[in-house]
Amino acid sequence: MEEKEIHDELTAIRGLMERSSKFISLSGLSGILAGVYALIGAGIAFKLISDFHSFTETLYNKLVPNEQITTSPVFLSVHSDYTNLTKQLFIIALIVLILSITTAFILSRRQAKRKGQALWGKISQSLLFHMATPLITGGLLVLIFVSRGYYGIIAPCSLIFYGLSLVSAGNFTFNMVKYLGLFEILLGLIAACFPGYGLLFWAFGFGVLHIIYGSMMYLKYDR
């Protein structure tokens, strides 16, 4: 055996050990795009919320002094608009989520083909299972709290549970995913200390952090 042959053999072994135990078909590009979607979504949400605030302000200024607030037509119109706003924000979040998942799926499929790894196999299944457990738990918890009126919990809770799901998914893919998860958890805890800035933290965690992580992945593994 020549030295080069042994070298090739060792490289092949290392590659096989990685390919058999880790899902290496994640694409950095999908991280970048998910971040961009999140930032656009947060921008639209911010616009809607500030529009709503200026709208209510002008309405409240028209309130007749000493009028019973809860029965005034102004209050009722604001109230129905508020439910409308929540609905719109929910739809924006849903669109961002669906776009991100679809992008990740399409780009991973392309990457899997290039790297000779099965998209739907033993490893991707464990990856999805370990990611879905904290993610679905967190998602349901947020929905339960929202239905009870605790809107302040959305940003910290979704960041923390998303971070937990990334840390556990990190065992089945690039280590970098784990670090992204730790940062998301940290950000979620900080967001919990600063109520009222939820959208800002949300945009930073799902937007900026994704773009940073995606670019690092892209430069390191995609090419």
Partner 1 sequence: MKISFDKLDKAFESRVRLQIMSVLAANDRYDFNSLKELLDITDGNLASHLKALEKEEYITVHKSFLGRKPNTNYEATLKGKTAFKEHLNTLEQLIKQQKTK
Give the H or E element holding residue 140.
helix 122-147
Instruction: Identify which of residues 1 and 64 has a Cβ nearer to partner 1 in the complex.
Output: 1
Instruction: Tell me how far, at minimum, the Cβ of 179 lies from partner 1, in Å.
Output: 22
**C-alpha span between 198 and 145 (Å, rounded):** 15
Taking CB under 8 A as the criterion, the residue among 11, 20, 50, 102 binding partner 1 is 20
Distances (CA, A) of 80 to 59, 87, 157: 13, 11, 27
Span 177-216, contacts to partner 1 by CB under 8 A: none
- The reply on whether position 67 binds partner 1 by CB under 8 A is no
Q: How would you class 196 by CB atoms within 10 Å of its CB: exposed for 0-12, middle for 13-18, buried for 19 or more?
A: exposed
Output 100 or 111, the one with its CB closest to partner 1.
Answer: 111
Residue 113 touching partner 1 (CB under 8 A): no
Nearer to partner 1, 4 or 223 (CB): 4
Which token pair is 132? Answer: 């879905």
Chain residues 122-151 in contact with partner 1, contact rule CB under 8 A: 122
Q: Which helix (H) or strand (E) holds 146?
A: helix 122-147
Among residues 98, 101, 118, 143, the one that binds partner 1 under rule CB under 8 A: 118
Nearer to partner 1, 17 or 76 (CB): 17
Task: Identify the DSSP state of 64.
Answer: P
160 sits in which H/E element: helix 154-169
Segment interacting with partner 1 (CB under 8 A) among 5-13, 36-44, 133-141, 207-215? 5-13
- Spatial neighbors of 158 by CB under 8 A, at least 6 apart, are 138, 139, 142, 188, 202
Q: Does 11 bind partner 1 (CB under 8 A)?
A: no
- Is 28 in contact with 217 (CB distance < 8 Å)? yes
57 binds partner 1 (CB under 8 A): no
Size of the site for partner 1 (CB under 8 A): 17
94: tokens are: 């849903």
Interface with partner 1, residue 8, by CB under 8 A: no
Q: Where do contacts with partner 1 occur on this chain (CB under 8 A)?
A: 1, 3, 6-7, 9-10, 12-13, 16-21, 118, 121-122
